[in-house]
Amino acid sequence: VPTDGGGVSWFKRGKKWGLLSREGKVLFEPRFTGHVVGRHEAEEWNHPEGLDFKNHRAWVTEGKDFLLISSEGKLLARKPFIDVREWTDELDVFTHKDGRQGLISREGEIVPAASYHAIKSLEDGRAVVVRQMDKPKPDGGREIFRDYGYIDERGKTVIAPGTYQGPGVWSGGQTELAPFSEGLAPVWNNDPESSRREIYDPCAGYIDRSGALVRDACKRALDGRFGFVVHRRCCFVQHQDRRVLQ
């Protein structure tokens, strides 16, 4: 099966996958695990479990590990991950055995600062990250709570988790930050001077990509998706169906 890896091709023997060079030389004997297609998957898998070649790099699995290989037949890294997904042309998101996510380059180098409960897709040069923590409860149990921030395309923190609360998103938490669009994102403000939310206006407006507040943006819509309605307090409204998000 031809790939985008510079002329190399996958081949299958039994249940395992291997790799051939352009000239037909075996670069990797069949050793990589095949993908088991789920009930709701529409994609046709013509490569091993992992990520197919892009820029001469591919992620495959062997046993319980993910392997980063090159189209020259070199093993670049072996990592105890449980999942890897594409993030940018240079970086991929991995999930470790403890459930935390991080970023790894196509050379096998892990970005030290990027370690979170979740790393969302990159949009408009910024990606929402989720930090999850727990604290003891009076009854002896543990309470889990999350806060949210943003990283840039290199994995550097640009807005630290906990700086702002967001309007919430349908696939995430009630105060999760929304993706950036046209350089802006809607937020609530975590007022450090207030311990009671009701004594200050929860609507901060929008922030720019540096994290600075752009309060006048509260008066206008953002690419048709978010606007604001003032009724006792400022609410985020999704224009398509007028559903109040917060």
Q: Give the Cα separation of 238 and 246 in Å (integer).
A: 10
Taking CA atoms, 134 is separated from 113, 131, 141, in Å, by 20, 10, 10
Q: What is the pLDDT of residue 144?
A: 85
Q: Looking at residue 68, what is its pLDDT?
A: 97
Sequence-distant (6+) residues with CB within 8 A of 119 are 87, 93, 101, 102, 103, 127, 129, 130, 151
pLDDT at position 50 is 93
pLDDT digits (tens, 9 = 90+) for 159-184: 999 888 888 777 667 788 999 998 99
Q: Report CA torsion sign: 111, 115, 116, 118.
A: positive
Mean pLDDT of the chain: 81
Position 190 scores a pLDDT of 54
Model pTM? 0.78
Comparing CA positions, the residue from 190, 171, 192, 169 lying closest to residue 180 is 169
Select the more confidently predicted residue: 246 or 212. Answer: 212
57-88 pLDDT, tens per residue?
A: 999 999 999 999 999 999 999 999 999 999 99
pLDDT of residue 26: 97
What confidence score (pLDDT) does residue 189 get?
Answer: 59
Give the pLDDT confidence of 195-235 residue by residue, as tens digits. Answer: 444 433 445 578 899 998 886 655 444 444 444 433 323 44
Q: What is the pLDDT of residue 218?
A: 53
Name the residue type at position 183.
G
Is the separation of the CB atoms in 105 and 90 below 8 Å?
yes
Q: Across residues 135-142, what is the average pLDDT?
A: 84
More confident residue, 244 or 107: 107
Contacts with 18 (C-beta within 8 Å, 6 or more apart), sequence order = 10, 11, 12, 26, 27, 28, 29, 30, 31, 32
pLDDT at site 87: 96
Question: How confident is the model over 10-57, as pLDDT tens digits?
Answer: 999 999 999 999 999 999 999 999 988 777 666 677 889 999 999 899
